[in-house]
Structure 1
């Protein structure tokens, strides 16, 4: 008798939603492993990337820009501030809000994370040619953009 261990039924092997989910699980494991080496997590990376690209922002603005829930932004900012990767200061125009700014140490840390995440992306996309990788990423971006309008996109 032929072994069928690890072989899903044909209808499951062709469901885009299932395939995307399985790739997402692999991608998340690779990313989490890469970030763990630095004591960082995905939310922290997203916040540092937003701050580096767009400049200082309130915690609420960071949450909206990255799609991270407000309470998770607060926890991640607390962790980043404890490591001196961001500065948190009162907003001069509204003392109830904090403005978060990436520090030089945060910029250096982000560069390290970019390198580690680049390696994780290489591992994830290893079976694809450079052209297939570009097309795959473009198609994924198109799906995310389409579903973002329906309120179904997540960071």
Structure 2
């Protein structure tokens, strides 16, 4: 079945182009990570723990921009795989602190390799210079709109 033509008004809109590219990239990332039994949230949480160290579940959710209900399910999955450990916070026994395990660091390295391979597929038609420029421009937009956890905008 052929894809219906897109009105020319649309293909000139950067917002439409961004959303279409994002949909394609999201699909490729989901499929690629799914092939090794992972999800994007797994990668996000493991990377945050590797970069910033152990954290309470709430802090981790804020760092990663993951809603509390999705966060608990993701931590459960990672804990079941032996990739993270959840312990009571010594300063406040009502909270849990999530820590990356040695196996979690190995898993993160494998996910890094997979995600880099997927990035190459997503950005295949672009040169190294174009990829770098695209990343810089997207960061400018994201920082301007302040809509991600790592944004420099308050």
Q: Could you tell me which residue of structure 2 aligns to residue 58 of structure 1? A: 56
Task: Supply the distance in 1 between the matched residues of 2:139 and 2:70 (Cα, whole angstroms).
Answer: 24
Task: Supply the distance in 1 between the matched residues of 2:112 and 2:143 (Cα, whole angstroms).
Answer: 23
Gaps of 5+ in 2: none
- TM-score when scaled to structure 1? 0.92
What does 1:57-96 align with in structure 2 at a 5 Å threshold?
A: 57-96=55-94
Task: Supply the distance in 2 between the matched residues of 1:5 and 1:92 (Cα, whole angstroms).
Answer: 57
Task: Supply the distance in 1 between the matched residues of 2:149 and 2:19 (Cα, whole angstroms).
Answer: 13
- How many corresponding residue pairs? 149
User: How much has 1:139 moved relative to structure 2?
Assistant: 0.3
Distance 1:29-1:154 versus aligned 2 partners, 3 A rule: farther
Question: 1:68 is paired with a residue of what secondary structure?
Answer: coil
- Contact residue 62 and residue 149 of structure 2 kept, 8 A: no
Which of these residues, 103, 106, 110, is aligned with residue 104 of structure 2?
106
Aligned Cα root-mean-square deviation (Å) = 1.5
Runs of 4+ in 1 over 4 A off after TM superposition: none
Question: 1:126 is paired with a residue of what secondary structure?
Answer: coil
Question: 2:124 is paired with a residue of what secondary structure?
Answer: coil
Task: Supply the distance in 2 between the matched residues of 1:84 and 1:20 (Cα, whole angstroms).
Answer: 37
What does 1:1-155 align with in structure 2 at a 5 Å threshold?
A: 6-148=4-146, 152-153=147-148
Gaps of 5+ in 1: none
Deviations 1:11-48 (A, max 9, x none): 10011111111000110111011111121111111000
